[in-house]
Structure 1
């Protein structure tokens, strides 16, 4: 048994875990980073599981604080809006910001993870153990049991932090001990990855946008990659007559895409092979309470509050968790028993706010972005932002291009809509009054 009681154990060397190790090492803590997978820098990613990330201001802010923003985003590609592809007709561009100058950044999850991992292991006091799958945890003692290729090993730590994703083993252990409650709400939609390769050595589509094919009951998006390919993600129900389960033969797959995504067939020569062989991933929202136990075990990121990906905020939110925990440690002089409860108190409402906004944005992307009514509403919204700078700010701008707390964003948006409703009602009443007066004048 390895006894390292002065270490902070971070279980999960994904995005949040690696960044957390960097923040903790900067504070002078010794960090043990445990990961169930082999070293990802030495292998290849699992087929169909490399969903690109949309890194925006919250994530960039976290990276800046440890001097990693430029280093780890060197291959990120800025996307300044959506390019909406209808079934018929030309695609139309919808800017994310009123001035058209702000962008979210397409970046490979694997590339970002590898860069953060490399940055973490370079820091003094950080060690990493791969092929360590957590199978046991004594929360009171801080003792962990891992299965490894060499057999079962145990290790101890001063504090255990779970950053091991939506299927968190740390959360599962706390659940087994009866120390938290958990709910997982799955969508009846899944996702499948497809690929658009380079065309003649160049991007087959405009690379400065997030491409979206809204189809009501389904949706596909495409994000650019540095190798000039696009990673596409198809979202569709998992069961029923119009679902992933309803297509099996190559001919049926081609017919479906020819009908619903006609511009894709000529751009994706491996479409049928990708569709038939790439797995269908699940989508859901994870909630649990509490996020920590006695200041000895805590959860961050998806391990505490996984969300659906439709606002592009999963990684950004997890990085913001790391920033907030660092702030709580500052305020509580690295007293974990005080910092972890404070962290949950400050972040739980914000996590719930972005979870709800992400679910709502799925409906917007799937059903609304292609409609003339939606485009008119966005034009009005941008006009208001130009006319009332700083006083009227769209929800998307606040979520993606600021660090305003998510719960505060929701409250401000509700107030803005209430004011707009009053103004709109006044305009309607004024127009009606003019019409009545005009009618009376004509009759007179």
Structure 2
């Protein structure tokens, strides 16, 4: 495809579709979004998905590109680290990065609402209750359940993990696709504010109750409540399937999350009334077919354990807008560069997110893991441009995800060797930190 395309359609009015529409509208394109659900601003629904998200550098960078960073940060709660709760209720605060670095707890619904309002303020039309059934790639024509067919110059699929555009692509030749569900699902629970109207636990942290094969986490909200999420196996001896009665739930939580129980007054009711949702990883290629392209979860849905689902989707928008500035219009060269850049990064963050589930539910409570974090913090302080912890590369930097995972693997091999030395637990300060960094650079 060559030449400027004026009329753009986007499937999905979620976070990524809404942000992309603002970027395109600001560049003079006529943009229409087609959303299968009703208007959440009227219905008050967010599709049964996680209520809280962790907004970090990549997402903020994309929001800053459309002038929304400061406005959105007003609705965020900074979380400079994770607070680990052990079985006895002891607390251990682990900073995410350097002083002044933090991730942000933000309401999915509130952020989506703001982005849709901003899109409409820039002239974007959003048509709700438009469920896409099929797509013609060359004419960029979407056919909807209501019988409507809409053609445009270009069509984006920003319609999530079960994308209609990707579903149409899956029926074509030489389209690679995989999806994988992990054995755990998740359920939302609520920790309300105290009777005095304050936070029940420290709001300056993402709280984790790591228990090996499962975990409970909690993120703060502006109304002084916390949204808690139980990540838990679907089946097995310890699982959603095994907790059949309120007595089962009460006994299990009192045994495994004892310090949280007094702070969850609606635990038993919410456990049985709130949905149990699954967690999927999607990989595919190509992302471009004819005059259509995938973006966000439609291209690379990931599990939430690195807090990068929204951030990586926003970075897709950021990269696409950068390329649009470079190429001048949506053409074949831009689209090739877009997918050449983003497919490796989409696959990399998918791998990182799956690994971080193991880290969060298990390793954060491991003494060797805590020691590694201590050593890496010292290395980063001494050699800030040479040794950057993997979490910092992913969350606080502009490293491509594919670069971060490659560099992280190399650093981990060096750390594994250092941690295997006899007596390292009591003698980590005696390490030759310069030699460790030289190993990385050698």
1:176 shift after superposition? 2.6
Give the match's secondary structure for 1:212: strand
Distance 1:48 1:289, change over 3 A: closer
Shift of 1:333: 2.1
Q: Which one is further off, 348-357 or 418-427?
A: 418-427
- When structure 1 is superposed on structure 2, of 235-244 and 302-311 the one drifting more is 235-244
Match of 1:302 among 297, 300, 304: 297
Is it true that 1:286 corresponds to 2:285 in the alignment?
no
Match of 1:435 in 2: none
Residue of structure 2 equivalent to 1:144: 142
Q: Is the 8 A contact 2:31 2:125 kept in 1?
A: yes
Q: 3-state DSSP class of the match of 2:304?
A: coil
Q: Report deviation, 1:144.
A: 1.2
Counterpart of 2:255 in structure 1 is: 259
2:382 is the counterpart of 1:375 = no
> Contact (CA 8 Å) 1:48, 1:193: kept in 2 or not?
no
Q: SS at the partner of 2:147?
A: strand
Q: What is the aligned residue count?
A: 419
Measure the CA separation in 2 of the matches of 1:256 and 1:388.
46
Q: Within 2, Cα distance between the matches of 1:265 and 1:228?
A: 17
On the 8 A contact 1:72/1:116 being kept in 2, the answer is no
CA pair 196-345 structure 1, distance change in 2 beyond 3 A? same
SS at match of 2:391: helix
Q: Distance in 2 between matches of 1:387 and 1:44?
A: 49
SS of aligned partner of 2:208: strand
Q: Distance in 1 between matches of 2:37 and 2:416?
A: 52
Correspondence 1:150-189 to 2 at 5 A: 151-178=146-173, 180-189=175-184
Residue of structure 1 in register with 2:435 after alignment: none
Structure 1 residues 14 and 172: CA distance shift in structure 2, 3 A: same
Give yes or no for contact 2:54–2:103 (8 Å, CA) kept in 1.
yes
2:40 corresponds to: 40
Correspondent of 2:356 among 342, 355, 361: 361
Name the structure 2 match of 1:121. Answer: 120
Contact 1:48 1:194 in 2 (8 A): no
- Match of 2:437? none
**Which residue in the other structure is 1:403 paired with?**
398
Deviates more, 1:330-339 or 1:361-370: 330-339
Q: Deviations over 1:23-73 (max 9, x none)?
A: 101111110111011111112225853331100000000000110111223
Quote how far apart the aligned CAs of 1:425 are: 8.8
Aligned pairs for 1:48-87 within 5 A: 49-87=49-87
C-alpha distance in 1 between matches for 2:199 and 2:28: 45
CA distance in 1, matches of 2:221, 2:66: 25
> Which residues of structure 1 form unaligned runs of 5+?
432-444
CA deviation after TM superposition for structure 1 residue 228, in Å: 0.5
Report which stretch shifted further, 158-167 or 400-409: 400-409
**1:28 equivalent in alignment to 2:28:** yes
Q: Does the 8 A contact of 1:47 with 1:278 survive in 2?
A: no
2:272 is the counterpart of 1:276: yes
Distance 2:349 2:391 in 1: 11
Within the candidate set 183, 204, 210, 2:206 is matched to 210
Please give the alpha-carbon distance, in whole angstroms, between the structure 2 residues aligned to 1:83 and 1:335.
45
Structure number, greater radius of gyration: 1
CA separation of 1:264/1:411 partners in 2, compared to 1, >3 Å: closer, same or farther? same
Secondary structure, aligned partner of 1:63: helix
Structure 2 residue aligned with 1:442: none
SS in 1 for 2:112: helix
Return the alpha-carbon distance in structure 2 between the equivalents of residues 423 and 33 of structure 1: 53
Deviation of the 1:173 alpha carbon: 1.5
1:289 is displaced (CA, Å) by 1.2
**Is this contact kept in 2: 1:54–1:312, CA < 8 A?**
yes
Summarize the Cα distance change of 1:51–1:261 in structure 2 as closer, same or farther, 3 Å threshold: same
The 1:179/1:120 distance shift into structure 2, 3 A limit, reads farther
Distance (whole Å) between structure 2 residues aligned to residue 423 and residue 177 of structure 1? 50
Report the Cα offset of residue 413 of structure 1: 2.2
* 3-state DSSP of counterpart to 2:303: coil
Matched, 1:337 2:332: yes
Partner of 2:345: 350
Counterparts in 2 of 1:274 and 1:427: CA distance versus 1, 3 Å: closer
Q: Which residue of 2 aligns with 1:312?
A: 307
Aligned twin of 1:439: none
Q: Which runs of 5+ in 2 are unaligned?
A: 428-442
Q: What is the Cα deviation at residue 426 of structure 1?
A: 9.9
TM-score by length of 2: 0.91
Mapped partners of 1:376, 1:415: distance in 2: 18
Report the CA distance shift for 1:138/1:243 in structure 2 as closer, same or farther (over 3 A). same
Q: Of residues 372, 382, 387 in structure 2, which corresponds to 1:387?
A: 382
Deviates more, 1:175-184 or 1:23-32: 175-184
